Amino acid sequence: MYEKIKKEFIEVESRLSESGIINNPEKLAKISKRHAELRGLIALIREYDNIEQQIKGNIDIINSEKDSELVEMAKAEQGELEIKLASLKKQIDLELKPSDPLDVKNIIMEIRAGTGGDESALFAADLFRMYSHYAENKNWKIDILNTSHIGIGGLKEIIFEVKGKNVYKDLKYEAGTHRVQRVPETEKQGRIHTSAVTVAVLPEAEETDMEIKNEDIRIDVYSASGPGGQSVNTSNSAIRVTHLATGVIAQCQDQKSQQQNKEKAMQVLRSRVMAKIEEKKAAKEAKARKEQVGSGDRSEKIRTYNFPQDRITDHRIKKSWHSIDRIMDGGIDMIIEELKRAAQ
């Protein structure tokens, strides 16, 4: 069973050692990603095959063995094996046919300070740290595309790419407004402050998904700036790209060259334009950026992080968790799993 997948895995593994692939970073990245996707699936299939062989062996014992004790043992084991086999088949079929075809995509994540001033920017930095640690635990790779800092260590905005296996499948539930209640580091009186941060999660649109021609865009070049608005170089390396038909804008200044900034800005632009097109289709489950982030007002919250009470509450499923420090250190697995179960 699943011979087609086994054959593809062997072919993909073989291609990884071809010189034409090794010397082509773009092809190597694509083949490596497919290899990583198939590796977990092949592990499940091998386990499935192993249990199937055990079941066949038990059937032979039941049908031909004269030792009644061995027959009874085989019959007792058979029921458990069949339940395990059915569960594995369900897992494999879900991997082969994800409910959302975008689940296998890498993502562009955008975190922005909303209401709450400096405290909101500080919490935006905390959320970025949380997602970075979560990504590290999942062996995903993060690539920062654009940042805007404030002087005390906060982030007015950060846009970054997350690459790995089924990234969108897990992180799509993080889109929305995140509210924090805590005593700010800047507050001497010890007063609890409430602020909000918006998070957008966009499935990454590759060139094959969204072709944007040169005549469809306007490119502006300007000087990059560092934290606090200080100039970090004297050359015009920062790039702002405007999609003329939709008015969607993307900019990047964090790369080493103008060309690299242009490539990253185009990467963000494609994902934003694709999301805008989805939004216009008015599909209920469209991952449109505008619907995800709302206005950044505290009332449009999906989750509250209450530090004094050591509690995080997700308002969509009306469930709370404690150990907030551990969760903020990247331990959001339990929250994401609960949201996935509720969605199913």
- 214-280 is a CATH 3.40.50.1860 domain: no
Task: Give one word for 247, left, alpha or beta, with left for phi > 0 and alpha for psi -120 to 50.
Answer: left
SS (H, E, C) 9-73: HHHHHHHCCCHHHHCCHHHHHHHHHHHHHHHHHHHHHHHHHHHHHHHHHHHHHHHHCCCHHHHHH
Q: Taking the domains of the chain in order of start, what are their residue ranges?
A: 3-96, 101-208+291-343, 214-280
Q: What is the pLDDT along the chain (344 residues), one digit of tens a residue?
A: 688 888 989 998 898 888 888 888 878 888 888 888 788 889 999 999 999 998 988 888 888 877 788 888 888 888 888 888 988 888 888 777 766 778 888 999 999 999 888 899 999 999 999 999 999 999 999 999 889 988 888 899 999 999 998 899 999 999 999 999 998 876 667 788 899 999 999 988 876 667 788 888 899 888 766 544 444 444 678 889 999 888 899 988 888 788 888 888 888 898 888 887 777 664 444 444 455 555 555 456 999 999 999 999 999 999 999 999 999 999 999 999 899 888 76
Rounded to 10 deg, the angle between the 68-96 and 25-64 helix axes is: 150
* Count of Cβ atoms closer than 10 Å to residue 114 Cβ: 22
What fold characterizes domain 101-208+291-343?
Answer: Alpha-Beta Plaits (3.30.70)
C-alpha to C-alpha distance for 290 and 47, rounded to whole angstroms? 43
Q: Strand runs (DSSP E) across the chain, as ranges?
A: 107-113, 141-149, 155-163, 176-182, 193-203, 217-222, 238-243, 249-252, 301-306, 311-314, 319-321
DSSP 205: -
